[in-house]
Amino acid sequence: MEYVYAALLLHKQKKEINEANISNIIKASGAEVNEAQVKALVAALADVNIDEAIKAAPVAVAAPAAAPAAGGGAKEEKKEVETPSGKSEEEAMQGLSALFG
């Protein structure tokens, strides 16, 4: 996961996402660099528009901290979260996990 974070950091700073830059960030964090993972990530992101991928990613919503109302013994219904592309959150996460392993 740290490799993806490194790529997102480079993207946010408008730096080139390449093997050397990702390796430098991983080394700076104190972790050991796995060159195969770095190469795979750079190759996987070569044709990805990161801004669009971020916009399409589902947004995590925190549950409200308020206690249930009196007599609130009813079960909560699980709502299906839809992404802007029309996919469910679960489908979107499967696609995202396939991209980043």
Same domain, 23 and 53: no
Question: What pLDDT does residue 64 have?
Answer: 58
44 C-beta neighbours (distance < 10 Å), count: 15
Backbone angles phi, psi at 3, to 5 degrees: -70, -40
pTM here is: 0.56
Residue 91 covered by a domain: yes
Same domain, 53 and 34: no
Q: Are 44 and 59 in contact (CB under 8 A)?
A: no
For residue 94, is it within any domain?
Answer: yes
Residues 14 and 43 in one domain: yes
Considering the domain architecture, whether residues 27 and 53 belong to the same structural domain is answered as no
Residue type for position 46? A
> Containing domain of residue 96, as a range?
49-57+80-101
**Residues pairing with 88 in the sheet:** 82
Give per-residue pLDDT as tens, 32-81.
999 999 999 999 999 999 999 888 888 766 555 555 555 555 555 555 55
